[in-house]
Every structure is written in C-alpha cells, then in structure tokens.
Structure 1
Amino acid sequence: MVKFPAAGRVKTRLARDIGRVAAAWWFRHQLRALLRRLEDPRWQIWLSVAPDTALDSSVWPAHLPRISQGQGDLGVRMRAAFEALPKGRACLIGGDIPTVQKHHIAASFAALGAKDAVFGPATDGGFWLVGFRRTRPLPPKLFQGVRFSTEHTLADSLASLGGQSHAVVAELADVDTAADLASARSR
C-alpha cells in the first residue's frame, strides 16, 4: 500500500515535524530501499497505489505490477486490494516500515498455512502487515468501525474478523513522527 511521494500528500504526520519536502524525500527513499530488500522469488510484490493518477508514474519500479487503491477509507482500500489480487495467500504492508526483512514476510506467509489471517502488530497499537489465506470469503465486516491511526487500530481490526482464525507475527515500528524516524535511524 503506497502513496505517490509528493510533498504535502504523503507522510503528513511526519511532515508536521520535519517538513513536507523532507517527509516526501524520506518516504521515496525508504520505499525504494524496502522494495529492493523484499524482492524474493518466493512471492510476487504488487504495488497498491494512491492516487489513481500515479499508477503509471516512473517513480515505481517498472517491473512491479500495480493496482489502484481506489476510493474510501484505509479499510475499504485494503479490502479492495485483497479482492483485486490473484487468488491465494496475500499480505499487505505499508512503505514506512524500515526494519521489515524477508524473514518477516516469509513468517507471515507461513502463518497463513494454518490460519485465515495474519497481523504484524506495530509498536503504536496499529499493524504493519495484514494478510489473508483467502480460501474462504473475507469477513463481511472486515475493517468496519476500525479507528485507524490510533492505539486501537489492531484491536479493532482483530474484532472485525468475524471469528476467522488469526496469527500474530513480529512487532515492528512504522514511521509516523520525527521521534519514530529518530528511533528507526538509531536501529
């Protein structure tokens, strides 16, 4: 799940702390490093891009397939991404998780061998990864009523699973503020 790295339109909470241009620059370089680091023959990386007008941008690596995030809140857009991707196990992550490595992604896909869903909790109460095995329909109320960008995001999301089984993998930090950025740089 990625946004076009335009100043003032991406990483807006971080931009309040370090400025719009610096936040966009950080995100663009972070995303490039993340994509290089996570490419692996065990999975196919797809970019779920916002806004729709940025689908064909030269910012994105040409060899990676892209889908539109479409409209709606984050929950609506994530659900749409799961429905647009080819059948089988799928995981979504954001582009702002500097410490994610291939072994985190592999563990998430492995968890989907036994569970319907997998979440990678974030240190702020949200999540850095969500995945579904997709052998049965997604829960009807998936991501409805979720208080995104709060300490309740993960708990609300788990409550929206409607009884589907889930696993939890490693907790990682995303970068939303200057303090998060400083912490990431110290790791």
Structure 2
Amino acid sequence: MTSPTTTLLVIAKEPVPGRVKTRLTPPFTPADAARLAEAALADTLRTVRALPARRRVLVLEGRPGPWLPPGIDVVPQCAGGLDERLAAAFESCTGPTLLVGMDTPQITPALLAPVLGPAGWDACDAWFGPADDGGFWALGFAAPESAPPDLIRGVPMSAPETGAVQRGRLVRAGFTVRDLPPLRDVDSAADAEYVASAAPDGRFAATLRRLTPVGAR
C-alpha cells in the first residue's frame, strides 16, 4: 500500500458572531450564524480527518477553539484579500495539495476520492471544484511550489465570475485541469436549507434544525 501523498488544506474563519456567515443575518441572529459556521467547519474537518492525506492543515483567521479535532495542524492566514490568503496557503506547501473551504459541509470522502486515489494526480496539474454561485469550493495543485505567483493573486473573489476567471488562469498557464462536481455554498438561508437536505446526518443539518429564524419567533 502506498503512503498518502496529498496535503489537505481547509481555509476558514474562527466562528465568531458578527464575523462569519454575515449573509445569514437576517433571518438568523449573528450568534446563530456563528453556530452554523462552527457546525459547517466541524463537518468539513471531520471529513478531512477521514481522508488519506500526508498532512491535514487548517488555515485559520482567528484562534482555534474546542471545535478543532485532533490530527489537524493550524497555521494562521496571512493579511490581505482572499486571493492573497489562498495564494499564501499554497505557497507554504510542496507536492500535491488540495484546498477546500468551510462553506460546503456536505463534502464526503467519496466526493474527494478521485483526487486522493492512486491515480488522482496522474496526468493532472490541477483540480477544480466549481460552486453553483460562480465561485469555487475546491482547488488543488500537483506542484504548488512550481505554480506561477500570479495564478491566484488578482482573481476577483466573491463575484459571479470568480470560478471562471480562476479556471481560465489554470488553462492559460498550460495546466491540465480535472473537475470535481459543482456544489452549493452556504451563503443564504436558502442555501443552508439546501445543504442541510443534502447532508441530513451532519452537525450542520442538526444545528439548523434547532434554530428558529428571527421572523418566526
């Protein structure tokens, strides 16, 4: 059996009220939005722990809390926009590296198996997971240490064209790109309901079921 070769990165914010999932307020309170963010992060990290990896790293803005499971290294995010923070996260790695966010708690080991299987990086320079809102939920490089410095920097983040611009840069750089299935990010209350229905047994879904939107109280 071969040893795992891929580093898994999760980029996230500390789930602090008023700083995370602000587009969920309203209908949820800032405290409830933070609870949902914590649950989404916990589900994501649980999946990452179940995957074969050379190293598992949480690239965190803020401080770790009791929600952090064992077996996950923590490194701080750098300053700057999200494009700068993503680029810096990859620049700290060598060898195959896959990054996911905390906005898709419905990810499963089966979903990421094509990347992490024995043929995951054969004839492949990059992996790309598009998001339904036009962004992306996963990005991976076979050799991030050899990627051009401007491959991520300057990509407009949180915009309808984010994913298209990022994937276009990969192709123009001459990378062979393989795609993961599109997923829906948790940005709005409707997104939260959709994702919870897609992963009804997770902590995110359980947390959402316990919460009551402000207008319904």
2:194 maps to 1:183: yes
Deviation, structure 1 residue 136 = 5.8
Distance 1:73 1:42 in 2: 30
Q: For residue 180 of structure 2, what is the amino acid of its counterpart?
A: V
Task: Tell me, in whole angstroms, the C-alpha distance in 1 between the residues paired with 2:67 and 2:47.
Answer: 17
Matches within 5 A, 1:12-91: 12-40=22-50, 42-43=52-53, 44-51=55-62, 54=63, 56-85=64-93, 87-91=94-98
Amino acid at match of 1:39: R
**2:110 alignment partner AA:** H
The root-mean-square deviation of aligned C-alpha atoms, in Å, is 1.9
Equivalent position SS for 2:25: helix
Deviation (angstroms), 1:113: 2.5
Cα distance in 2, alignment partners of residues 139 and 116 from structure 1: 13
Indicate conservation of the 8 Å contact 1:2/1:48, yes or no.
yes
Give distance in 2, aligned partners of 1:33 and 1:102: 12
- Whether the 8 Å contact between 1:17 and 1:177 is mirrored in structure 2 is no
> 1 CA distance for matches of 2:39 and 2:175?
36
User: Across the two proteins, how many residue pairs are aligned to each other?
Assistant: 183
Aligned partner of 2:146 among 133, 137, 140: 137
Taking a change above 3 Å as real, the CA distance of residues 139 and 26 of structure 1, as seen in their structure-2 partners, is: same
Correspondence list, 1:76-155, <5 A: 76-85=84-93, 87-109=94-116, 110-134=119-143, 137-155=146-164
Give me the TM-score of the superposition, normalised by structure 2. Answer: 0.77
Shift of 1:58: 4.0
Segments of 4+ in structure 1 off by > 6 A?
A: none
SS in structure 2 of the partner of residue 142 of structure 1 = coil
Q: In the superposition, relative to structure 1, how do residues 17 and 150 fare at CA in structure 2: closer, same or farther (>3 Å)?
A: farther
Give 5+ residue unaligned stretches, structure 1. Answer: none
Does the aligned pair in 1 maintain the 2:131–2:184 contact within 8 Å? yes
SS of alignment partner, residue 175 of structure 1: coil
**In 1, Cα distance between the equivalents of 2:155 and 2:51?**
34
Tell me if the contact between 1:144 and 1:160 (Cα under 8 Å) persists in the aligned partners: no
Computing the radius of gyration from Cα coordinates, the structure with the larger value is: 2
Cα pair 1:46 1:66 within 8 Å, conserved:
yes
Identity %: 34
**Unmatched runs of 5 consecutive residues or more in structure 2:** 1-10, 199-217
Moved more, 141-150 or 167-176: 141-150
Deviates most, 135-144 or 20-29: 135-144
Are the counterparts in 2 of residues 141 and 160 from structure 1 also a CA contact under 8 Å? no
Checking the alignment, whether the CA contact within 8 Å between 1:13 and 1:176 is kept in structure 2 is yes
Amino acid at match of 1:6: V
SS in structure 1 opposite 2:185? coil
Q: Which has the higher contact order (CA 8 A, sep 6+)?
A: 2
- TM value normalised by structure 1: 0.88
